[in-house]
């Protein structure tokens, strides 16, 4: 099976947001940050209340409640902006480059303007399908990004990847409702 497509900035952004959303470290970091900001505001409100300054106490309590409710929205936008800047810096020479991926019985071959590479199928860790992409995870930590919107026959590729996952005894993860949050 042969696939030919070019990745754009949006594809790289979705890939980074997806990997961030699945990273235990980043999820923990986001939760700690959210709770630290909200908790600090609530604690400051308590300290001002104890020191007989109700105006500042109510101010910090209100800000603490607001940050508890809305900080995740701010954080989501912050991470997205961070990755957009990262992609502009890091992938500027890879955006729009046409690549060809070929599957055979023992390897995945990729070809683009930079050259060719061969990935042994034994190096696949899992295959994840989201609503818009297939991500082939490698044991080395990398991924192959396959955007559904840029390939011809998505059902045929899904069948091929499920068969491949079964043959290699690796996990085929269906996360069709994934979205960045």
pLDDT tens-place string over residues 70-79: 999 999 999 9
Would you state the structure tokens that stand for residue 161, as one six-digit string? 């990847």
Place of tokens 């890939």: 15
Q: Judging by DSSP bridges, how do beta strands 124-130 and 171-175 pair with one another?
A: parallel
Sheet holding 115-120, edge to edge: 2-6, 98-103, 107-112, 115-120
Place of tokens 């990847």: 161
- Pairwise CA distance, residues 82 & 151, whole Å: 28
Residue 170: strand, helix, or coil: coil
pLDDT in tens, the chain (181 residues): 889 999 999 999 999 999 999 999 999 999 999 999 999 999 999 999 999 989 999 999 999 999 999 999 999 999 999 999 999 999 988 888 999 999 988 999 999 888 999 999 999 999 999 999 999 999 998 899 999 999 988 999 999 999 999 999 999 999 999 999 8
């Amino acid at each position: 099976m042969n696939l030919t497509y070019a990745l754009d900035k949006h594809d790289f952004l979705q890939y980074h947001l997806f990997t961030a959303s699945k990273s235990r470290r980043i999820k923990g970091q986001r939760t700690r940050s959210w709770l630290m900001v909200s908790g600090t505001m609530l604690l400051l409100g308590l300290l001002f209340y104890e020191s007989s300054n109700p105006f500042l106490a109510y101010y910090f309590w209100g800000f603490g409640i607001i940050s508890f409710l809305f900080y995740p929205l701010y954080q989501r936008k912050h991470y997205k902006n961070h990755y957009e800047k990262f992609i502009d810096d890091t992938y500027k020479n890879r955006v729009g480059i046409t690549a060809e991926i070929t599957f055979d019985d023992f390897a995945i071959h990729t070809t683009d303007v930079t050259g060719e590479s061969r990935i042994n199928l034994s190096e696949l860790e899992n295959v994840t399908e989201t609503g818009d992409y297939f991500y082939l995870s490698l044991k080395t930590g990398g991924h192959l990004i396959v955007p559904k919107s840029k390939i011809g026959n998505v059902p045929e590729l899904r069948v091929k990847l499920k068969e491949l996952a079964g043959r290699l005894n690796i996990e085929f993860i269906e996360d069709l409702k994934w979205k960045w949050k």
